[in-house]
Amino acid sequence: MGEDFYRGKNDRNIDIVNAILYQQFQEGILMGDIMYKVNGYTFNVESITAFLQLPEKEQWGEEELHSFLSTEGMQFVLHCENEDGVSLKNGMKEMKRGKESSLLSRKDSVWCEMWENKQRIQETYTLLKNRWEEIVERAYTTVQEFLLPTNHCTGTWFFVPGRGQKAYCTPEGCAIILGLKPYTESELRFMIASLIYRKYLLTTLNCHNNTTGSHSPFTPVETLLSITHREGLITYVGLQAAADTEFTASYAVTEEDAARYTDALTAALKETSTDTPGITEDADLMSTATRIGCAMARAIDESIAEKEDGNRRGRDMLLGTLSYLGFISFLRHYKLSDTTVYDSKILWKAYELMEKERTLSGVKEDVFHMQ
């Protein structure tokens, strides 16, 4: 896993400490906080290790539950869901009381599912330990290829055993839930890279709050095109990290996508309301916009392979769209790429309208979608 693996500080002989802890990590001897740093990004597995150390017995004690629920990863997830640890601790106590427990009889109980999926969590965690460089470091390295030259990507990543959704992303950090399903290496790289890049856009470009004035009648169109740009780019970065042909094919644009997107753009151009719930709450449309945006990002990135100095012109153009008005230049570069993955008169009508009418009043871009 590399020399940066650490737990705590030891100024006298950090190499020996790192070597011992690395061996402990590989052998499954787990004590306290365990973290790993990659170029300033901290990957925290403490919640997983604390969960896996919960003993198999009829009733957990206060200390055992506290050691798990007080981990930074679980606290991060609880904060994301506006929950407190008290109710969850009580729920976990009830879960261990036997088959008569109301929680245990509920098929949708995330705590029941988490404990029932303990073996799956252990297997995924073991995969991460054994393939850390190929999964985590490779995903992070891919993200670095899509940062602006003057930017750095820092933050905290939490691996968590369970909760209500498969991933979380805020300006404060990211988390992935290991207990919801079995993950392949490609899926893990995809999720890690796309979430880290999402956080990068949240914090560095502040794209979650681009509203500097009141919304306009063009807000529905702006919202759809902005989502297409942002979510497409995030997904493209994730797929680059996944490096899996079959997995990438699952994000290919379909005829149904093209038809749905054309209909949505047509409706957005006719819409006079400044609200956008019809766009942001339509999961199918969000997925469609993501796939089309991903295809556009790939077209731009691959449009011109290399400069004379070896740098990629297409990549430079793609990174040039990382700005407040980015979706306009994104569409402009896509048009220049001569790619027809998605090409319709309504798209270019929307583009020309936005290029003409766009002002600094902006559109609120606070919707983040993971397919």
Residues in contact with 177: Cβ distance below 8 Å, sequence separation at least 6, in sequence order: 160, 161, 162, 163, 165, 166, 167
Residues 189 and 89 occupy one common structural domain = yes
Residues 136 and 246 occupy one common structural domain = no
Q: Give residue-wise pLDDT tens across range 62-86.
A: 888 888 889 999 999 988 888 777 7
Q: Stretch 322-330: mean pLDDT, rounded?
A: 88
Q: Is 60 exceeded by the pLDDT of residue 295?
A: yes
Question: H/E element holding 43?
Answer: strand 41-44
Residue 349 belongs to some domain of the structure: yes
Residues 178 and 242 occupy one common structural domain = no
Residue 331 belongs to some domain of the structure: yes
Q: Rounded to an integer, what distance in angstroms lies between the CA atom of residue 370 and that of residue 230?
A: 12
> pTM, whole model, 2 decimals?
0.81
Last residue of one domain, picked from the residues 167, 198, 229: 198
User: DSSP character for 271?
Assistant: -
Residues 40 and 138 occupy one common structural domain = yes
Task: Please name the residue that has the structure tokens 């936005």.
Answer: 354
User: Which two structure tokens, joined as six digits, stand for 211?
Assistant: 């509203």
User: Per-residue DSSP letters for 104-140?
Assistant: HH-TT-HHHHHHHTHHHHHHHHHHHHHTHIIIIIHHH
User: DSSP character for 9?
Assistant: -
Q: Give residue-wise pLDDT tens across range 157-169.
A: 999 998 668 899 9
Q: Give residue-wise pLDDT tens across range 9-24.
A: 333 344 544 444 444 4
Question: H/E element holding 156?
Answer: strand 155-160
- Predicted confidence at residue 90, as pLDDT, reads 73
Residues 27 and 164 occupy one common structural domain = yes
Residue 9 belongs to some domain of the structure: no
Q: Rounded to an integer, what distance in angstroms lies between the CA atom of residue 90 and that of residue 69?
A: 11
- Three-state SS for 279-335 is HHCCHHHHHHHHHHHHHHHHHHHCCCCCCCCCCCHHHHHHHCCCCCCHHHHHHHHHH
Residues 192 and 237 occupy one common structural domain = no
CB 201 within 8 A of CB 107: no
Last residue of one domain, picked from the residues 143, 166, 198: 198
Nearest to 146 by CA among 45, 34, 239, 8: 239
Residues 193 and 226 occupy one common structural domain = no
Residue 298, domain extent = 219-357
| Half-sphere exposure (Cβ direction) of 272: Cα atoms closer than 13 Å | 0
Residues 104 and 138 occupy one common structural domain = yes
User: Which two structure tokens, joined as six digits, stand for 235?
Assistant: 């997904």
